[in-house]
Amino acid sequence: MNKSIKRLGIMGGTFDPIHYGHLVTAEAARGEYELDHVLFLPSGISPHKDPKTISDAQHRYLMTVFATLTNPYFEVSRVEIDREGVTYTIDTLRLLKEQYGADTKLYFITGADVIAEIMSWKDSSELIQLSEFIAATRPGFKFQPEYVDQWFFQQNKHLHQLKVPAMAISSTDIRLRVKAGKSIRYLVPESVEYYIRKNKLYIDKSDTQSEKNEAESVL
């Protein structure tokens, strides 16, 4: 563990797939808040999403590794995907605080839409005491309801806002584009695009099987 890291960014997410919006946001946060390092944490079994709708953790982990390889300030952790059962952000932050020490300040980076739900997270009051929170939005986007800011204020904490143009890119849109056979070039790194194509992610497996059966019947 690098004890020289005093300001650690934590980029949590499903990363299904990781795209340039995630990468640009992480780099913008690193520069704006003078972070020494940004740790990407592909989620394990999320309490907020149906596991059946999410790609295999190993695929999401590898895509994140490929996407971050060229940035020496970025690193990918398996801490959540290797944890058994449902993974909660509070458990991850407790672990990171223990690993990096009290002298390291944590900055949790996520989208403003996610921040709007933070009060429903497990041990939310402790959560925002363990880490600063950075809410990334695209320019012109209306920020989360005022009650979220007020709740942070009541906890004697400040919610940081970060405007990122690339936040307009969406993992959901990318999955739909792949399924429809549309291009995702320049939305994701080339290594991620290649991985998606090679492993046939986000396509309807039943359609693929039907095409295979039709080809075999012709032969």
- Domains along the chain with CATH numbers: 7-169 (3.40.50.620)
Cα dihedral 74, 11, 113, 153, rounded to 10, equals -120
Maximum C-alpha span of the chain:
70
Average pLDDT rounded to a whole number, residues 12-38: 96
pLDDT band at 105 (very low <50, low <70, confident <90, very high): very high
Mean pLDDT of 115-127: 90
What would the mean pLDDT of 141-169 be, rounded to a whole number?
A: 82
Cβ–Cβ under 8 Å, residues 137 and 148: no
Separation CA 147–CA 156 (nearest Å): 14
**Residue 121 CA, distance from chain mean position:** 16
- Judge whether residue 142 has pLDDT over 70: no
Residue 216: burial class (beta carbons within 10 Å; 0-12, 13-18, 19+) = exposed
pLDDT of amino acid 134: 95
pLDDT of amino acid 213: 44
For residues 20-49, give the mean pLDDT.
Answer: 93
Residue 2's identity, in one-letter code, is N
Q: State the average pLDDT for the chain.
A: 88
Which sign does the torsion angle of CA 47, 80, 203, 166 carry? positive
Residue with the bigger pLDDT between 137 and 38: it is: 38
pTM to 2 decimal places = 0.88
Q: pLDDT band at 216, cuts 50/70/90?
A: very low
| Res. 181 pLDDT band, cuts 50 70 90 | very high
Distances (CA, A) of 69 to 23, 76, 81, 189: 11, 9, 19, 11
CA distance 46 to 89: 9
Asked whether 146 and 49 are in contact (CB, 8 A), the reply is no
Judged by phi (left if over 0) then psi (alpha if -120 to 50, else beta), residue 4 lies in alpha
Cα 36–Cα 28–Cα 158 angle in degrees, nearest 5: 80
Strand blocks (E) in 26-185: 37-42, 74-76, 105-111, 132-137, 159-163
Q: Kindly report which listed range (10-24, 43-57, 187-201) carries the lowest average pLDDT score.
A: 43-57
The span from the CA of 181 to the CA of 18, in Å, is: 18
In whole angstroms, what is the distance from residue 48 CA to residue 45 CA?
A: 9
